[in-house]
Structure 1
Amino acid sequence: MPTTRQEHPASAAPLDEAGLRDLILEILDENHVMCVATVRSDGWPHATLVNYLRLGRALYFVVARDSQKFENITRDSRVSIALGGGLLANGAVRGLSMAARATEVSDPAHIQEINQEIFRISKTAGFRPHPSSVLIAVMEARPSLISVIDYTAPPGQRELVRAVEDWRIERLPPETSH
């Protein structure tokens, strides 16, 4: 499902919803590490880096069952995710910040599908899940709000969108992005 990196003109016009969706998928597919922030029992955020795999609209990652991350998600499924930020060849930065719900994947057939995709791409994409325990849980996060940061073309672009099924994108009104 990887998309191909598009070259953006020096001064790009704002993207329509389909263009934003393609940009979001492109950023998701060119990265394989994301920061997941969960809510601890004392209300403070707990942020850690995890490898992830995108299949369709979901992002999959593995966690140790005895980890704070698993405990936090089990108690409160709300997570914040950030990824990207690395410099592109032209020195520009782009990335995503997302609000999502994370749940454990328990269906063995679905876990097998995820494993097959991991083994298929791991040699070329750098996806290396590495929980610190043999007792792991496969987690699925489905982003609902996505903030797109794209500085590949001046003056840069920041968009807040809602992702709905099949990665259909709905722009949110400007007052929502405060």
Structure 2
Amino acid sequence: MKEHVKEKILSLLDQHRIMSIATLRSDGWPQATTVGYVSDGLTLYFLCGPQSQKAANLARDDRVSLTIDHDTPDLMAITGLSMAAHAQVVTDRAEAEKVLRMLPLKYPDVHALPLPMPSPDEVRIFRVRPTVISVLDYTQGFGHTDLYTCDSPSLFQS
């Protein structure tokens, strides 16, 4: 992946705070939900309840599809990301604590409210690493997308 493409993707990841993520239910149907996320390079992280449907789905099959975008009144200003990825539970305590420290930084307005952050033992934290990234950019034409594969582990280092 060329450096300018990676920078464009990282910029879109930094501009947004929520993503829609689809997992596969036990009956084979996809389940899409909206979650907050943080990113470290091209690696994304999200939290969910240990007993949630997402956690159960991902315990069976770690494949996910996700989108990151925003609403805009101008159809030709649509930009965003779509990814095929694998999501694994973060089991390393230091990595989990790092993610929990990153989350409030993505939501600076929350600092004014005394919201307690969960401990790593109270939530499931998933590390999401894309295998394919589609960059959607209607400013280059209706429906314009560029497709990239993520075949190098060095892409995930920040």
Residue 76 of structure 1 corresponds to which residue in structure 2?
61
Matches of 2:76 and 2:110, distance apart in 1: 22
Q: Which runs of 5+ in 1 are unaligned?
A: 1-15, 169-178
Matches of 1:90 and 1:43, distance apart in 2: 33
Counterpart AA for 1:58: T
Counterpart AA for 1:136: V
Q: Which runs of 5+ in 2 are unaligned?
A: none
Deviation sequence 1:29-49 (CA, Å, 0-9, x none): 111100110011111100000
Matches of 1:46 and 1:21, distance apart in 2: 28
Question: What's the offset of the Cα at 1:20?
Answer: 1.7
TM-score in terms of structure 2 length: 0.81
Q: Which has the higher helix share?
A: 2
TM-align CA RMSD: 2.9
Correspondence 1:136 to 2:107: no
Correspondence 1:41 to 2:5: no
Whether the 8 Å CA contact 2:47–2:126 is kept in 1: the answer is yes
TM-score in terms of structure 1 length: 0.73
Residue 66 of structure 1 corresponds to which residue in structure 2?
51
Question: What's the offset of the Cα at 1:135?
Answer: 3.7
Deviation sequence 1:134-167 (CA, Å, 0-9, x none): 9410111001101111112446631110123343
Matches of 2:16 and 2:105, distance apart in 1: 16
Deviation sequence 1:99-148 (CA, Å, 0-9, x none): 0000110111111111222233431599x9x99xx941011100110111
Whether the 8 Å CA contact 1:82–1:96 is kept in 2: the answer is yes
Matches of 2:96 and 2:74, distance apart in 1: 36
Question: What's the offset of the Cα at 1:19?
Answer: 2.1
Alignment match of 2:82 (pick from 93, 97, 119): 97
Alignment match of 2:42 (pick from 57, 74, 97): 57
Mean Cα displacement is larger for which, 80-89 or 55-64? Answer: 80-89
Question: What's the offset of the Cα at 1:79?
Answer: 0.4
